[in-house]
Amino acid sequence: MIMATTEFVVRKSALLLPWLLVLPLSAQSYEVGLFAGQQSFKSASYADPTGEGDLNASSGSKTVVAARVGYALVDMGPALLQVTAGYQPKVTTTLTTSAALYGFQSSQDYGASSASLGLMANFKAVIAVGAGVEYRDETLSSNGVSTRYGRPWGRVNAGYAVPSPILKPFVGVEVALPLTSKSLSGDASTADQLQALAPKLEVGLYGGIRF
């Protein structure tokens, strides 16, 4: 009877062992954070071969605040691999142009907002560093017209996390930039015009809590 019980325990242990080995790879670690920094926009120019007039358009940088959440797919030792989702509310800058051509005015508002989904790899040390890529669905608007612009962005950051047992506050610097962009052309549609002036760089602070 004792031998049968022992064999049953051994069999159960053999079945549980693979799950115990992969448990650290599926640790349910969450992150909630805020990014605050400067977002700059592309300038666009078009030299009209017909001689009707060249076009130059540019806008100033804006302060943006974006919320982000993350879920750890792998959290083992210094390695942290996350899936992330974020949202940046609309910011509005002033677009100035050299001529009122192709539907542009000499001065008009230009707005941008975005929602994102991405993957981030972090190396946790005294100074933690991370790099990742995300897909942003950007909404761009100006002069009463709007369009959506989907494209990949790259992100890198470096910072410090408080080594507490449960809640782990962290703060660091972050840089993000798009991996694709568009140029302005004479036959550009309104959507293409807005996309040619889309955000081109973000630099700021990113902080939050992991738990």
Q: What is the pLDDT of residues 145-201, one digit of tens each?
A: 999 999 999 999 999 999 888 899 999 999 999 999 998 877 778 899 899 999 999
Q: How far apart are CA 195 and CA 145, in angstroms?
A: 12
**Confidence check: pLDDT of 206 > 90:** yes
How many C-beta atoms surround the C-beta of residue 16 within 10 A? Answer: 10
Q: How far apart are CA 16 and CA 45, in angstroms?
A: 64
Q: Within a 13 Å sphere around the CA of 80, how many CA atoms are in the beta-carbon half?
A: 22
* Contact by Cβ (8 Å): 174, 205: yes
Mean pLDDT of the 94-119 span: 83
**Two structure tokens written together for 203:** 């630099």
**Amino acid 184: pLDDT:** 82
Q: What is the amino acid identity at position 34?
A: L
Query: What six digits make up the tokens of 31?
Result: 């992150």
Q: CA 91, 39, 71, 168 torsion: positive or negative?
A: negative
The answer to whether the predicted template modeling score (pTM) of the entire model surpasses 0.85 is: no
Residue 79 pairs in a beta bridge with: 76, 123
CA angle 194, 198, 199 (to 5 degrees): 160
pLDDT of residue 102: 55
Rounded Cα distance, 91 and 116, in Å: 16
Fold of 25-210: Porin (2.40.160)
> Could you tell me which residue, 88 or 96, shows the higher pLDDT?
88
